[in-house]
Structures are given as C-alpha cells and as structure tokens.
Structure 1
Amino acid sequence: MRILITGAASFLGRHLVEYFLSKDEEVLALVRENARGADELLGYKANNKFELIVLDMKDIERLDSDFDICIHLAWGGIGKEGRMDANIQRENINAAIKLMKVCKDRGAKRFLFAGSQAEYGQTLSDIEAKYGKDFDINNIPRQSEDSPTKPKSKYGKAKLELKSKLKNLGDSLGIEYVHMRIFSVFGRGDHETSLISTCIRDFKENKDVHIGECIQSWNYIYIKDLCEAIYLLSKKDLQGEFVFNVAGKTNRILMDYVKDIKRLLDSSGGIVVEKKEAASEGLPFLNPSIERLSRIGFVESYGFEKGIKDCI
C-alpha cells in the first residue's frame, strides 16, 4: 500500500513515517518548504519505499503521485494565538477539502484526518460547576465519540466542522473517511516546552519543576501506541464507524503523571506549583473512552510508565 502523510515533518508525522516504513509500506511524506523537522526525514531517502514531497498545502492540487491511503496531519495555527485565529482555521478547512478531492484523482480509498480532543470543549471549569471542586474523576462520565461537542477555540470548531464536511464529501467521492480525535501525545521529539519534556529534562538534572496546579483529568498516549492505533485505523474494517477517540486507556489527575516521572527518574528535584493564567479556551478536562478503538483491536503496548522509560 502507498500511504500519503501530510505534515510529515511534525512530531507525529515523523514517527508515522518511521512506523509505516517498518511495516514495509510505501510512504509519501509531504512537507512544506523549510518545514521544521524535515531534515530528520532525509535519512529515509535511501529507502526505495520512501518519497519526500516538498509542497505547500495551498498548492496541493499540483500533487501528481498516486496513493491508496491519506493521513492528513498538516495544520496551521496550532499555537496559542493561531488556535483563536478564524482566518487561519478557515484556510485549514479549505485545504483539507481540496486534499480530499485530490485523493479522488490519485486513487485513494481511505482518508484519515487528525481531529482533536478540542472538539469536545470540556474544561475543568465545566466539571467543577457540575460536580464541585472535590469531584471524583471515577464518577464523571467518560467522553465517548457520541458525547456533546462544544469546542471553545476556533481550532476546535474548525476540526469539528471538517468532521461532517469531509464525511459527506468522502461519501460522494467513494472515499472512506476516518475522523481521529487525538488526545495528548508524548514521546521523543515532542516540543521541548511540553509538560512531559519539561519534567523529564528538569527532573533528570535534579532541578525543581515549575508547573501549574495540574488538578484536571488528563489522558496521555505514547507516540508508539498512537502510531499503532493509526495503523489499525488505516487497515482494519471499522465496523461502520468513522469517528474514533485516539487516546490511552487511563485517565488520571494531571499531577499524578508529574509525580510518576519524578519517581521513575528518582529525582531530588521538587515540584513547585505556581498559579498560572489559563488559556482563553479554559483548562481542558480530558477523560475519553476508547472502547470503539479497542473493538478494532487496539491494545496499548506501552502505556504511560513504559512510554516514559522508553523516552529516558
């Protein structure tokens, strides 16, 4: 099978390229010119199953290579300001629609899109208003694919808008559409300022880690587990479903993950809690169900603790 991966220079994209090549699949890695991380893909150029394509999403109609499956990750405006920029998000929507049409011309049969947990829009404030500040996360219903979606950012709204638009377009073009609601991913090569990267770096050096209160529910999935989930979604009979939470099986209070990293590194560094201003969309409260993903055969090989050990 020939797999097109857009946004292939991203954290997730680079790992997916490696994973699909390890499965002896042909990979077309699409990156924009001067994309950060693209250099890390050059090592695959000696592999005759790998092809690097330098092309901006706004010019996607110039793509002239055939492929069987598209995994669409490319997305602008994922930073704090960009997430609230309606114009940037509209460009993302238009590019995804153009790409789906290109998929028809290039013979693709399945289109996987990287949606987001931001589509749910559930925040810590929402939970505290309903269950009180002394909530027990075990008593709060998990977010299933059928849970209400009330995104608070332009980013989340754009991802949600594409769910229906790409599904309808795919049906009309004869392309199977898969909407992946991806939760919080960690692993080697993640952004250096992420919570996990910060904790590993500072605790390794026995430094104090300065973080927010971390009292919300959170869900982490290790990058290698995520790649396996996406591989299954590209290959398996999806039993008539098209929306999938892509996450780990365990939901915990965010501070518990921080304490686990400190323990695993046997660090003498402290945990310094500082009051931090929440983003305008609020603090996400993540407690997904992955029953639907499990039904197609997904099982975490790593999970959080083994994933952290693999990182360090």
Structure 2
Amino acid sequence: MRILITGAASFLGSHLVEYFLDRGDDVLALVRENARGRERLSKYEEKPNFKTIVLDMMDIEGLEEDFDICIHLAWGGIGKAGRMDRAIQSENIEAAKILMKLCKEKNAKRMLFAGSQAEYGQTLEDIQKRYGENFDIKDIDMQYEDSPTFPKSEYGKAKLELKRELKTLGDKLGIEYVHMRIFSVFGKGDHETSLISSCINNFMKNKDVYIGECKQAWNYIYIKDLCQAVYLLSKKDLESKYVFNIASENNRVLMDYVNNMKDILKSKSSIIVEKREAASEGTPFLNPDISKLKEIGFKEVYGFEGGIIEMCDIKA
C-alpha cells in the first residue's frame, strides 16, 4: 500500500515513516519547507519505497501523487499560546477537510486523523472537586470513546469538531474515517523538555529532579507501541468503529512514573516537588480505556518500563 503521512518530520511522524517502510509499504512523507526535525527523514532518502514531499498543508490541493491511506498528523498551534488561538485552530480544521476531499480524488480508502485526549477535557481540578484531594484512581470513571467530552482549549475543541465533520464528510465521499484519540507518547526523539526526557537526563547524571506535584492520573504509551496501534488501524477491518483511544494498558498517578524511572535507572537523584500553577485549561487527568483497540489485535510489546529501558539502552 501507499501511505501518505502528513507532519512526517514530527516525533510521531518520523517513527511512523520507519514503521511502515519496515513492513514493505510505500511512504509519501509530507513536510513543510522549514519543518523542524526534517533531518530525521534523510536516512530514508535512498529507499525506493520512500519519497519526501515538501508542501504546506494550506497548499495540499497541489499534491500530485496518489495514495491508498492517509495518516494526518500535521497541525499548527500546539504550543501554549497556539492551543488557545481559535484562528490558528480554524485553519487546521479547514486544511483537514480539504485533505479529506483530496483523499476522494486520489481514490484513497481510509483517512486516519490524530485526535487528542484534550477532547475529553477532564482535569485534576475537576476530579478533586468531585472525589476530594485523596481520591483513589480506581474509583474514577475511565475515559471511553463515547464518554462525555468537554474540551477546555481551542485545540481540543478543534480536534473534537473535526471528529464530527470528517466523519460526516467521509461518509458522504465514501472514505473510511478513523479518529485516533492519542494520549501521552514517549520515546527517542521526543522533545528534550518533556517530563520523560528531562527526568531521564537528570536521573542518568544523578542530578536532582525538580517537578510539580504530579498528582494527576496519566497514561504513557511508548512510541513503538503507538506505531503498532496506528498500523493496525490502517490495515484492519474496523467493523464500522471509528473512534479509538490510543494509549497504554495502564493508567497510573504521574508521580509513580517518575519514581519508576528513578528505580529503572538506579539513580541517586533526589526528587524535589514544587507547587506549580496549573495551565489556563487546567491539569489534564488521563484515565483511558483501550478495550476497542485491543479488540482489533493491539497488545503492548514494550509498556512503560520496556520503553524506558530501550530509550536508555540499558543492557540486561
């Protein structure tokens, strides 16, 4: 199959490029002219089943190549300011709808879109109001694909809006639509300021780790496990299901992950907790269920500990 991946130079995109290439698919990697991380794709340039396409999403109608499956990751305004900017998010919505129409012109069979946990809008502050400060994560309702959605950011609202609009448009055009609600992904190549990357860096140097209270429930999925999930969603008969949580099998309080990393790395670092002000949209509280994903054959290979071990090249 020929796979079009937009946002191919991103952390997620570059790993998906490699995953599909390794399994014999042809990959069209769509990137912006000045895309950060574009060098990640240079090692594939000599492969006969790989092609880089330099094109902005606003000019997507100019794409000449045909493809069978589209995996749409490209998205502007994911930073702190952009997440609350309705104008930027509206541009993302319009570009995605144009891309869906292009799928029809290119005789593509399926379009996968990277939705977000931000669509649920559940926060630690919400949970503490309902269950109190000393809640037990086992008592909290899990986030199912049909759970209520109350996004608090314009980013989350835009992703949720596209779930509805792309499904309707896809049905009209005869394109199968898959909405992937992606939770928190980690792995090699992630931003150096992410919690996982910064903790690993300090733990490996036995330097003190300064973090927030980390009381919220969280879910980390290793990048290679995520690639398996996306691959299955691109190939399997989904039996009319179209919204899937993309996450790990386990939900834990965020501080548990931090302590787990310290143990895995046998670090002598101290963990110093600082009380920090929550973002304007609140502190996300992630508690997903992935039963639907498991029904199509997904099974974690790495999990959190396996992912950290591979990231840090720890030998048995």
TM-score range with shorter-chain normalisation?
A: over 0.9
The Cα offsets for residues 44-93 of structure 1, whole Å up to 9 and x where unpaired, read as 01100000000000000000100000000000000010000000000000
Give the deviation of 1:257 after TM superposition. 0.2
1:134-176 deviations in Å (ceiling 9; x for gaps): 1100111110001000000000000000001000000011100
- Residues of 2 paired with 1:187 and 1:280: CA distance? 27
Distance 1:299 1:42 in 2: 31
- TM superposition shift of 1:107: 1.2
Letter of the 2:106 counterpart: R
Unaligned runs of 5+ in 2: none
Distance 2:301 2:56 in 1: 35
Matches within 5 A, 1:178-197: 178-197=178-197
Secondary structure (helix, strand or coil) at the match of 1:149 reads: coil
The equivalent residue for 2:209 is 209
Give the Cα separation in 1 of the matches to 2:42 and 2:252.
38
Corresponding residue number in structure 1 for 2:32: 32
Instruction: Find the residue that maps to 1:90 and give its secondary structure.
Output: helix
- Residue 50 of structure 2 aligns with which residue? 50
Matched with 1:224 is 224
Distance 2:152 2:34 in 1: 32
1:264-285 CA distances to partner (integer Å, 9 max, x unpaired)? 1111111010111111000000
Rounded to whole Å, the distance in 1 between the matches of 2:45 and 2:210 is 41
1:64 aligns with 2:67: no
Matching residue of 1:293: 293
* TM-aligned CA deviation for residue 239 of structure 1: 1.8
Measure how far apart 1:231 and its partner are: 0.1
Secondary structure of the residue aligned to 2:281 is: coil
Shift of 1:202: 0.5
Q: How big is the alpha-carbon RMSD for the aligned residues of Structure 1 and Structure 2?
A: 0.5
TM-score after normalising by structure 2:
0.98
Amino acid at match of 2:34: N
Among the aligned pairs, what percent are the same residue?
70
Shift of 1:39: 1.1
**Correspondence 1:94 to 2:86:** no
- Per-residue deviation at 1:27? 0.2
1:1-312 alignment runs, 5 A limit? 1-312=1-312
Q: Give the drift of 1:289.
A: 0.1
Q: One-letter code of the match for 2:146? A: D
Residue 109 of structure 1: CA displacement? 0.6
Q: Which moved more, 1:155-164 or 1:134-143?
A: 134-143
What's the CA shift for 1:185? 0.1
Paired amino acid for 1:11:
F
* Matches of 2:37 and 2:245, distance apart in 1: 26
| Runs ≥4 residues deviating over 4 A | none
Matched residue type, 1:168: T
Q: 2:280 is aligned with what amino acid?
A: S
SS at match of 1:193: coil
**Aligned mates of 1:240, 1:71 — CA distance in 2:** 18
One-letter code of the match for 2:214? C
Distance of 2:211 and 2:278 partners within structure 1: 12
SS in 1 for 2:121: coil
Letter aligned with residue 308 of structure 2 = I
Q: What SS class does the counterpart of residue 213 from structure 2 fall into? A: coil
**Letter aligned with residue 271 of structure 1:** I
Aligned-pair distance for 1:40? 1.4
What is the identity, as a one-letter code, of the residue corresponding to 1:37? Answer: G
Bigger mean CA deviation after superposition, 132-141 or 175-184: 132-141
**SS in structure 2 opposite 1:47?**
coil
TM-score (norm 1): 0.99
Q: In structure 2, give the amino acid aligned to 1:6.
A: T
How many pairs are equivalent?
312
